[in-house]
Structure formats: C-alpha cells, structure tokens
Amino acid sequence: MTRELVLLWLAAFPLMGSPGPATLSLAGLGTAFGFRASLAYLAGIIIGTALVLVLIATGVTALILAQPVLLVALTVLAAAYILYLAWKIATAPVGRIATDGDKAPSFIPALALAVANPKAYAAIGAVYAGHRLIADNLAADTMAKLAALFLVIVVVNTTWLAFGALFARLLTNPVIGRTVNVVFALMLVGSVALALSGEF
C-alpha cells in the first residue's frame, strides 16, 4: 500500500494544489488580511473541500452533474462570490492593521465556495477515480483514500494561506502591497473566467 499511497500523493498534490479559485482566494486573503485573521475562511475551505471529497466517494456528484440547471446555478453563485472576494482582496488595507470593517471573509462563505468550486470536483474526482490503495476491500480502499486526500486538502490549503501571509510580511511598501493585492484579485477573476468558459 505504501507505493500506491505515494503514487496517489504524487498525483494529488500538484492537481489539488495548483492555482484555482479556492487556493488563490486563500493566498490573496493571507496577503490582504494575514494568516490568523483568515483562519475561519481556511476552515471553511478545508471542510467544504472535504465535503466535495465525500460527495465524490459516495457517488453523489454524479447525481449533481446530471442536473445541468443545478450545475450552472452553483457555478454562477461561485463565480459571483469569487468576484466579490477579488474586490475584497484588491481593496484590502495595505500597510496597516485592518479595522473592524476590514475583516476577512468567514467560514460559511468559504464553505459555500469550496462546495461550488468546479476545480475541486475535477481534481479530486480525477485523483480519487484514478487510484486504488487497497485492492481487495472496497470499504477499506474508500476510507484510506478519504484519509489520504483529506491530508492533501489540509496541507495544500494551509500552505496557500501561509504563502499569502508570508508574502504580505515581505511587503512593507504600500504601493507594492496594493499591487500584489490587485494581482491576486486579477488572478481570481481569471480563474472565474476559466471556470465559466468550461461551463458555457
């Protein structure tokens, strides 16, 4: 099983850790608001992505994908929220402590974004379906893949948030800080455009 687990992780980390709406939003919020202020958002992304993993493992996603109207609605809602996040990141305070009105987005919106994130379904679905850890026991194989991929979800998303927060510490010049925030925001908008181009 060790070899199979390593192969699963070798596929999972680049696929699930590549830039997408959730990971870019974490990096952007880490840069704009810091690591600690974004922990509730991180928890929402982790739990929401874990829920996507469970939906894939149980086959529920096949039912969702069979309903085109529901899929389009989820994609549009996710896109709208990501555009809002891009605005929050681009306009976040730079070079000073955030005020009460400048709080990072919280748990529930992050959970909703993670569940509606088309990249999560594609990446997790590909890794989950493409690997078997325990050949002779479907239940044990499912549990092993759930545990292995949950670890990937935690590591990948925490790393993106930490990257953003670390990046922010290096930015003491307000002009550079604002530029970085705007670049992260534009990357988020680009991820929305890519997701929508695949849906419509």
Q: Is the pLDDT of residue 163 over 80?
A: yes
d(CA 72, CA 170): 40
Q: How confident is the model at residue 99 (pLDDT cuts 50, 70, 90)?
A: very low
Residue 161 lies in a domain: yes
Dihedral sign from CA coordinates of 127, 128, 133, 135: negative
Amino acid letter, residue 190:
G
- Cβ atoms 167, 180 nearer than 8 A: yes
Residue 28 included in any domain:
no
| Structural domain containing residue 90 | 39-197
In a domain, 3, yes or no: no
User: What pLDDT score does 152 carry?
Assistant: 95
Q: How many CA atoms lie within 13 A of 146 on its CB side?
A: 16
Domain membership flag for residue 58: yes
Q: Is residue 19 domain-resident?
A: no
pTM assigned to the model: 0.79
Element (H, E) at 108: helix 107-116
> From CA 168, how far away is CA 72, in angstroms rounded?
35
pLDDT at residue number 158: 97
Q: Is residue 50 part of a domain?
A: yes
Choose among 52, 158, 44, 49: nearest CA to 108. 44
**Mean pLDDT for all residues in the chain:** 83
Nearest to 61 by CA among 117, 113, 134: 117
The CA radius of gyration of the chain, in Å to the nearest whole number, is: 17
The count of structural domains within the chain is: 1
Residues 6+ apart with CB under 8 A from 182: 90
Helices 118-130 and 21-33: crossing angle in degrees, nearest 10, is 120
Task: Sort 77 into a burial class: Cβ within 10 Å, 0-12 / 13-18 / 19+.
Answer: middle
* Block residue for tokens 């529901």: 70
109 in any annotated domain: yes
**pLDDT bucket at 199, cuts 50 / 70 / 90:** low
Residue 115 lies in a domain: yes
